[in-house]
Structure 1
Amino acid sequence: MRITVESKRTEFTTERECEPSRWNAVAGRATGEKETVKSVNAYLGNLEQQLLDAHAALVRDGASITAVTIKNKFPDVGSKQLLLMAVFADHIERMMALVGQEWAFGTFNRYKEHEHHSTAFLKVRFKTTDFDISRMNFAFIADHEFYLSSIRKMGNNAVVKHRKMFHQIATRL
């Protein structure tokens, strides 16, 4: 199955087979009257509807619409995207378990604050609550730092500390 959004595409297997001579590429369905053909076509129709529902959910949530985000919204298909706020949550959960041993409580609170600022940044800049880490680039980091210094009114030292925290979380992967 191929998903195309703004000339960018992603593909995945439906794990169904069809004789090449029975495949109608224009219709995107198998041709014939056999029960196996009907079963494949019904499965593809169901799959197509689920992908349309995934697209609608992304639109409803105000999330970024790409071929990959639609594919990853669809359950059990392809590799799941690694989301920034999920990585934050995992990191903070691990930190909480080590407060008093490896981490000071104040450091833990600064990471929680950074998580809050990052969530707010995603809402302001991308109008979403999470972000696919594979899409992070220099512009994303620069926008994040600009957000901290301009909207959150942080000084240079605070922005540098937040960049270090962000780097530590992002490079843990």
Structure 2
Amino acid sequence: KYNLSDISIKEITPMFITDFELYLRTTCKCGFNTTAKFMQFFKRIILIARNNGILIGDPFASYKIRLEKVDRGYLSEDEIKIILKKKMVSERLEQVRDVFIFSCFSGLAYVDVANLKEDNIRKSFDGNLWIITKRQKTNTDVNVPLLDIPKMILEKYKGKLPDGKVLPIISNQKLNAYLKEIADVCGIKKNLTFHCLRHTFATTTTLAKGVPIETVSKMLGHTNIETTQIYARITNNKISNDMQGLDKKFVGIEKIYKEVSMK
């Protein structure tokens, strides 16, 4: 449209910004939230230019970046049990199931599981085994106490893998393809992907069992609670458990109401 291979940042106008958004949505076929993320990066560049005196005005002043709320899937405890109990038809599916379940109980993203070595599994201050590593995405520290299930999975593959690896990792693309196969044979209708496990860890493994969201956030390697809130859902089961016994704390008020209503 502009017949240019490059454009001066001083020539960026509100019309250019809306044209760029349209280009992303149509020519590039980007989704709503993907387009919004690109526009956030674009706005950040404009902000840097303004802060350094390159720009005076703000072409983004009247432009609003909106993200659609997406309900990301997670597995319930019953669905985890179904996957655990199912006899896998091949060794490859069994290995994929083990890696997936390991991350459901540790919260590690694919790349962090792939990079996990024996050196990352060590005793911490409390004498128990912990995963001690860094998130590749944000370079933040991740320290997660090992639960019994991931311990058993690590023991299963101990000394059987090369280069100090602790789990049988394949490419993320193949892993997700196998996970869809596992979902089919287990009768699970959800879109099962490896990233689903972080949501499962946040919601089913930790928050639903009473682990505070601040602790969950730290174990996931998030830098703020708002990010964790995207991952962790308050389930009806947790609401029921949290509310149990609350009536007993209002006995005095109940007596007052009964006395008033009987007059």
What TM-score bracket applies, with the shorter chain setting the length?
Answer: under 0.3
Normalized per residue, the structure richer in helix is 1
- Bigger-Rg structure (1/2): 2
TM-score where L is the length of structure 1: 0.27
TM-score where L is the length of structure 2: 0.18
